[in-house]
Structure 1
Amino acid sequence: MKRLLNFVLLISCNLLLAQTYITNVTIADVEKQKLVPNQTVIITKDLISNIQLSSKIKIPASATVIDGKGKFLLPGLVDAHVHFFQNGGLYTRPDAIDFRSEMPYNKEIDLAHNTMEDKLRRYLQNGITTVIDVGATYSFLKQRKEFATKDFAPTVYMTGPLATTYEPSVYENLKEDEPFNLVKTVEDGIKMVQNQLPLNPDFIKIWYITARDKDGIEASARKNLPIIKAIIEEAHKNKLKVAVHATERITAQLAVEVGCDFLVHSVDDELLKDDFVQLLKKNKTILCPTLIVHDGYVNTFGQKLQFTNHDLLKSDPFQLGSLLDLKHLPDTLLINNYKKSVNSEAYIAMSAKENITCSQNLKKLSDAGVTIATGTDAGNIGTLHASSYLAELKAMQNSGMSIWQIIQASTINGAKVLNKENEFGTISIGKKANLILLDNNPIENLDNITKINRVINRGVVFNPSDLIPETPEALAQRQLNAYNLRDLEAFLEPYADDVEIYNYPNELQSKGKDKMREGYAGMFKSVTNLHCELKARIVQGNIVIDKERVQFGNQFIEAIAIYHIENGKIKKVYFIN
């Protein structure tokens, strides 16, 4: 009798809980690589509590119902390689290109902290419900606690500073904001792990850099191997996995041999042989290929950036805009040297060879059954947080991976990185209700993974468009970015269909987006050296005032543009020349 009463009480309690029913939906079974139609998924609190054929489900009147007919339900995506201490823009890595005279690095650090919520919201907007920060700082380990229970925030797994035998001088003496821990001895390595323990990192990261000590790559790798081994052993002793940055075959091989759990880059210096593949399989090492990050640097420095409409709409517009600053920054000698270097025939050939090597290695590893986890290395120059995920998926597809393999890498395999596959990564009863509802079939076209109808995070349902509030300043910046990229449709997107363009104060020059399209299409096509430099900006309510210096060929015009925003679009523009 007592057992019966307890059972009745349990049922009654469950009925009182808020439940969400996603009905008549096609589920992506990422493990069996098949689509399962006509399913209803029941979410109770933050967990998937039931999955059944829709015809067998009776929906209570109190439930929230989402009609999934014609839609596709995937587990939430995982980006298994990000860096929150980096913003993705031009000024975020002064060790790669030093513009601290333009943007002091302490301001860049402050910006990274102050925009962490925006980054998290963007990840969720892009269907990414889990991110793994593969190299942070003590200050970010502390800050992540602020978002641990926020429904708009993906779950964040994070390591502390990277253990390394080489530290770029620009990062020295930053205290809690230092992203590297310099370790020169075995004792240093052990102490580094112990120092991170009080802040509860989810794992430990090693930056296995070679030949900075003027030894050859293999000699340097073997000389530092005892330190690498000691760090891994100390981490494992404290039940922490270890990720290793290793881009050469020898460093990757040595790291795996001494216990590395997670290789966070592709091997780019040689094609892999079968013995290396078998080593990864035997040790159950997971690989995160990060295929696009190098090209982010190359295309930025070479001033060859091209962005899709997805990038322009979903990325942080201010960080994206900063990548175009090389067109007008005053240190032309530095800028031209970088541009000349990365656009040289020798560098282009070397870069192409590395990309082909990475792609072929990924195909070989994936086909052999090595566990691959999708990660972008977002935060590096040219690899923008959240929006760069699609480009990484497409690079994986270009390597020869199937869409099902890519979706596995982006869901369940990401969960496996930290042994969380029993908590999330598939649509299964008892797992976290971290899901994305798509309007179109992602198995038919990988682009459809961005056609997100709803994101469910911690059981809470979000309309993606509600996650990032549209602001007048963001609209002004988006159109400026698209102008500088000569992307006509992206340039017109922030404008109202009946937009009015004036010469100040009240001389109407044109009305309507179609008229704008006619005027700007010819200019984008024919004018050389077209670039607008933002000199100053004032934002007051729904009005944005930009002071601009615009280059047309060899001519420069100083102008002021006043943007009036109504209902989330630029309604009127006044130009003062």
Structure 2
Amino acid sequence: MNIKFALAISFLVSTISVCGQTYITNVTVLDVEKQKLITHQTIEITDDVISNIKKSSALNIPKDAVIIDGTNKYVVPGLVDSHIHFFQNGGLYTRPDAIDLQKYWSYTDEIALAKLEMETTLKRYLKHGITTLIDVGATYNFLEQRKSYSDKAYAPEILMTGPLLTTYEPEVYSNLGKDEPFILTQTIEDGINGVKAQLPYSPDFIKIWYIAGRDGLSIEASAQKNLPIIKAIIDEAHKHHLKVAVHAVQQVTAKLAVEHGADFLVHSIKDELLSPEFVTLLKTNKTVLSPTLQVHGAYRNTFGQRLEMSNYELAESDPYQLGSLLDLKHLSDTILIENYKTRTNTAKSIADLKKADAISMANLKILSDAGVLIATGTDAGNIGTLHASSYLKELQLMQDSGMNNWQILQASTINGAKIFDKENEFGTVSIGKKANLLLLDANPIDAIENLTAIHSVINKGTVFTPNELLPDTPADLAQRQLNAYNFRNIEAFLEPYADDVEVYTFPNTLKYKGKATMREIYGNMFKNIPNLHCELEGRIIKGNTVIDKERVQVGDKIKEAIAIYHIENNKIQKVYFVK
């Protein structure tokens, strides 16, 4: 069978086209604005719009309609990630200004990979119920590329700015043409022209990187020095009916930006607790803030080699980008790597991170209690903050700050729509709004983690089954178990294997059979052997077989190994180790 034809058939099976009408019957609707559950509802979807919502007993369903039984299920609006970057992949090599590892993987290749993987990244977001993405710092190439997904049912809606306008640009990003993520603006005229240069690419908004202190001045003096440029950019953007997002992580820069018209702050303030006057300013101006609570720590924990990943992240992340985060354990430039590790693991560095995180969390509580508009955003794409799978962790951190689950759900739906005054288009389960919905098997008000208990995702009126939207490849399974091995996580390690897995010494000597025996062997290994790490040196993929050449550190010994994985029914069924 032709491969492309087979893939097309597989994709059609995993979706339900709603040319006509689809009904979700007898479902509980979560009203995120009124914070209440509405039981026994039937939702009518016509094409890509919610056309009716009524008590199940009051709505007649045509015989030829598509019906989804919503009994004991919950429907919520599609989620919004209000802060991502498509030009960054989330792995170790994606920010050469933070750590330059181009001797191993060039930034040119990293950019090419981001563009190549955009479709997969979009499907990964949709699989996790995220139907709207706000890219707050892109490139001209991504502004053009996103157009090809505007009519694709598997693609979330994308709201995107062009390159970040900034008074400071890392040298590694200069002279990249349409792949350059920054426009250097050192004068008022530069700022105005930076806005105008983006207009032919039809951005949805403008983004400012308000970086203070890089010029040798104090934070406040630097912020004041650059303020005329910031104001000129905001004024020019508003003249063209474009809103402005601002990266500002100090209270002084954030306050100056909001006073001069910023519409959207894309990070927490982490240098000091917010003053009542600033909180009032945000509320009065209806400025939206996206906290991005995890991103700072993800950098530090990656560089310090103290990164931790949950079972959910190990199962749901892009396995290759996640795996790259542990490459610092085997890359050859040991002096560079040890310097990063030492610097980020000093008592002062760890204390500074804890202090900044504590301030960010306290400020989020202050803002949410005051009624300031909070929009969930991950800053995904940065090192250690992986696309789509990082969303749950962000929700959990918001909960740790003191926000309740209704507030978090509002931040993840309707407040994201309000950033661009699109609350009449999406963000609630309401008649006339876009049919971008999540059908859940459990109530997220009981536990915010239930937002991952996804039965179906409805996007642009099409119903998707998550696991069939982005099925695992044989290489994905092999990589996932490798990642879990390196994290010493026995449950995540066993997940890709079949219950009756068979493990052989090549070519045909059976060593043992069954996941229970594997659990005992590897569980003891993870607990008792120090310096356990597996480096993938090469991989061959042939159909359902994956052949990995590995360099394994076991205590003080280094072993070369070849592992052959045979996949059946989307699980690793047989493993052969070549001595």
Instruction: Say yes or no: does 1:274 pair with 2:248.
Output: no
Instruction: Say yes or no: does 1:383 pair with 2:377.
Output: no
Normalised to the residue count of structure 1, the TM-score between the two structures is 0.97
Which residue, out of 526, 532, 536, partners 1:530?
532
User: Which residue does the alignment assign to 1:6?
Assistant: none
Which residue, out of 112, 117, 120, partners 2:119?
117
Deviation at 1:512, TM superposition (A): 1.0
The runs of at least 4 consecutive aligned structure 1 residues that moved more than 3 Å come to none
Give the AA of the match of 2:106: P
Which residue, out of 278, 283, 289, partners 2:291?
289
Q: How does 1:338-377 map to 2 (within 5 A)?
A: 338-377=340-379
Q: Deviations over 1:449-500 (max 9, x none)?
A: 1000000000000000111122110010000000000111111111111111
Quote the Cα distance in structure 1 between the aligned partners of 2:55 and 2:532: 57
Quote the Cα distance in structure 2 between the aligned partners of 1:468 and 1:462: 10
Q: Give aligned pairs, total.
A: 562
Q: Deviations over 1:494-550 (max 9, x none)?
A: 111111111111111011111111111100100000000000111111111100000
User: Which residue does the alignment assign to 1:299?
Assistant: 301
Aligned to 2:292, the other structure's residue is in SS state coil
Q: Deviations over 1:229-262 (max 9, x none)?
A: 0000000000000000000000000000000000
Instruction: Say yes or no: does 1:167 pair with 2:169.
Output: yes
Aligned to 2:374, the other structure's residue is in SS state coil
Quote the Cα distance in structure 1 between the aligned partners of 2:528 and 2:325: 23
Aligned to 1:195, the other structure's residue is in SS state helix
User: Which residue does the alignment assign to 1:257?
Assistant: 259
Deviation at 1:572, TM superposition (A): 0.8
Which residue, out of 163, 180, 183, partners 1:178?
180
Aligned to 1:146, the other structure's residue is in SS state helix
Deviation at 1:219, TM superposition (A): 0.5
User: Which residue does the alignment assign to 2:37?
Assistant: 35
User: Which residue does the alignment assign to 2:11?
Assistant: none
Instruction: Say yes or no: does 1:478 pair with 2:480.
Output: yes
Deviation at 1:307, TM superposition (A): 1.0
User: Which residue does the alignment assign to 1:542?
Assistant: 544
Instruction: Say yes or no: does 1:221 pair with 2:223.
Output: yes
Give the AA of the match of 1:574: Y
Give the AA of the match of 1:455: V
User: Which residue does the alignment assign to 2:4?
Assistant: none
User: Which residue does the alignment assign to 1:496?
Assistant: 498
Give the AA of the match of 2:303: F
Quote the Cα distance in structure 2 between the aligned partners of 1:99 and 1:338: 12
Quote the Cα distance in structure 2 between the aligned partners of 1:226 and 1:440: 51
Q: Bigger CA drift: 320-329 or 17-26?
A: 17-26
Deviation at 1:295, TM superposition (A): 1.0
Aligned to 1:108, the other structure's residue is in SS state helix
User: Which residue does the alignment assign to 1:5?
Assistant: none
Deviation at 1:17, TM superposition (A): 5.6
Instruction: Say yes or no: does 1:126 pair with 2:148.
Output: no
Quote the Cα distance in structure 2 between the aligned partners of 1:273 and 1:217: 18
User: Which residue does the alignment assign to 2:14?
Assistant: none
User: Which residue does the alignment assign to 2:423?
Assistant: 421
Give the AA of the match of 1:491: F
Instruction: Say yes or no: does 1:144 pair with 2:146.
Output: yes
User: Which residue does the alignment assign to 1:406?
Assistant: 408
Give the AA of the match of 1:90: L
Quote the Cα distance in structure 2 between the aligned partners of 1:307 and 1:64: 39
Deviation at 1:570, TM superposition (A): 0.8
Aligned to 1:95, the other structure's residue is in SS state coil
Quote the Cα distance in structure 1 between the aligned partners of 2:488 and 2:500: 22
Quote the Cα distance in structure 2 between the aligned partners of 1:449 and 1:153: 19
User: Which residue does the alignment assign to 1:521?
Assistant: 523
User: Which residue does the alignment assign to 1:247?
Assistant: 249
Quote the Cα distance in structure 1 between the aligned partners of 2:500 and 2:368: 51
Aligned to 1:92, the other structure's residue is in SS state coil
Deviation at 1:283, TM superposition (A): 1.0
Q: How does 1:18-33 map to 2 (within 5 A)?
A: 18-33=20-35
Quote the Cα distance in structure 1 between the aligned partners of 2:457 and 2:526: 37
User: Which residue does the alignment assign to 2:337?
Assistant: 335
User: Which residue does the alignment assign to 1:13?
Assistant: none
Q: Deviations over 1:185-230 (max 9, x none)?
A: 0000000101100110000000000111111100000000000000
Aligned to 2:566, the other structure's residue is in SS state strand
Q: Percent of aligned pairs with the same residue?
A: 66
Q: How does 1:59-74 map to 2 (within 5 A)?
A: 59-74=61-76
User: Which residue does the alignment assign to 2:9?
Assistant: none
Name stretches of at least 5 consecutive residues in structure 1 with no aligned partner: 1-15
Quote the Cα distance in structure 2 between the aligned partners of 1:262 and 1:470: 37
Aligned to 1:538, the other structure's residue is in SS state strand
Aligned to 1:510, the other structure's residue is in SS state strand
Deviation at 1:134, TM superposition (A): 0.2
Give the AA of the match of 1:123: Y
User: Which residue does the alignment assign to 1:3?
Assistant: none
Deviation at 1:360, TM superposition (A): 0.5
Quote the Cα distance in structure 1 between the aligned partners of 2:19 and 2:246: 43
Quote the Cα distance in structure 1 between the aligned partners of 2:168 and 2:239: 25
